[in-house]
């Protein structure tokens, strides 16, 4: 069972996609306190049920659905239905995938469909709700990989870059309307995605620790929640380098197996 987070609870109804494992599962546990309502979606129904049971044991009310985030109509209907049950306060667009070394045509399209279209399909219905009620918070899960394209994962990096830049723009556009937007850029976090990697992952962090950082950042209405800071600094330096140097350095980085 995941350890309870100690960050302050400031939201009553939290909707999280990709909640059946990794950061999504840890965030569900972080927000599972008496009085909170969690609306959770994921692709693995059995794992999602286990997450829900753990969150209910902590005192939260939990509703789950096995749903494909690329289904625009189904996502809009689910988000609207959950808001009609109880007004949403926070929506976290977390669902995402990595294809490992397989970034063939089909895999690349799948990465963009889930990592980008899935985020859009989550955020747009939430925006309609939050703009009409003049308050609400949205968090988009991007990645430190969004700051520089890496040869072993170009589609993953690009999809996360689109999420980050879109979220940063939304934050500026929506602030006057009372809608808060945070973009989350984690480094390596223990999950089913990182479990398959055999290469060295610097500053690898537990999902529980990552969730605590994200929860605190959202509560403080931080626009960009990027961590861990040593890896963040290294990535920013890489992104700021002239392309010839950055490209040469990127080519010698550890490759996925």
Q: Which residues are tagged catalytic?
A: 156
C-alpha span between 33 and 49 (Å, rounded): 17
DSSP state of 221: T
Angle at 12 between CA 179 and CA 186, to 5 degrees: 65
Q: Which of 167, 91, 95 is nearest to 129 (CA)?
A: 91
What is the tally of helices (H) and strands (E) in the chain?
A: 10, 7
Distances (CA, A) of 48 to 16, 20, 103, 198: 11, 4, 27, 27
Angle at 14 between CA 84 and CA 131, to 5 degrees: 60
Place of tokens 């140097």: 245
* Contact indicator for 91, 141 with CB cutoff of 8 Å: no
């Amino acid at each position: 069972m995941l350890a309870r987070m100690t960050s302050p609870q400031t939201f009553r109804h939290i909707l999280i996609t990709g909640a059946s494992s990794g950061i999504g599962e840890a965030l569900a546990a972080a927000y599972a306190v008496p009085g909170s309502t969690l609306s959770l979606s994921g692709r693995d129904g059995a794992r999602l049920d286990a997450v829900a049971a753990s969150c209910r044991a902590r005192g939260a009310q939990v509703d789950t659905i096995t749903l494909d985030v690329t289904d625009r109509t189904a996502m809009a209907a689910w988000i609207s239905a959950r808001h009609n049950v109880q007004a949403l306060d926070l929506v976290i667009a977390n669902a995402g995938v990595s294809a490992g070394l397989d970034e063939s045509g089909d895999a690349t399209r799948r990465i963009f469909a889930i990592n980008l279209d899935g985020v859009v399909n989550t955020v747009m219905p939430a925006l309609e709700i939050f703009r009409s009620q003049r308050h609400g918070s949205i968090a988009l899960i991007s990645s430190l990989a969004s700051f520089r394209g890496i040869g072993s994962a170009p589609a993953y990096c690009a999809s996360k870059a689109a999420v980050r830049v879109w979220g940063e723009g939304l934050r500026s556009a929506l602030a006057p309307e009372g809608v808060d937007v945070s973009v989350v850029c984690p480094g390596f976090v223990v999950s089913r995605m990182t479990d398959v990697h055999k290469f060295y992952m610097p500053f690898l962090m537990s999902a529980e620790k990552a969730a605590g950082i994200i929860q605190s950042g959202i509560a403080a209405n931080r626009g960009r929640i990027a961590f861990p800071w040593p890896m963040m600094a290294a990535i920013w330096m890489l992104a700021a380098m002239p392309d010839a140097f950055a490209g040469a350095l990127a080519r010698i980085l550890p490759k996925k197996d």
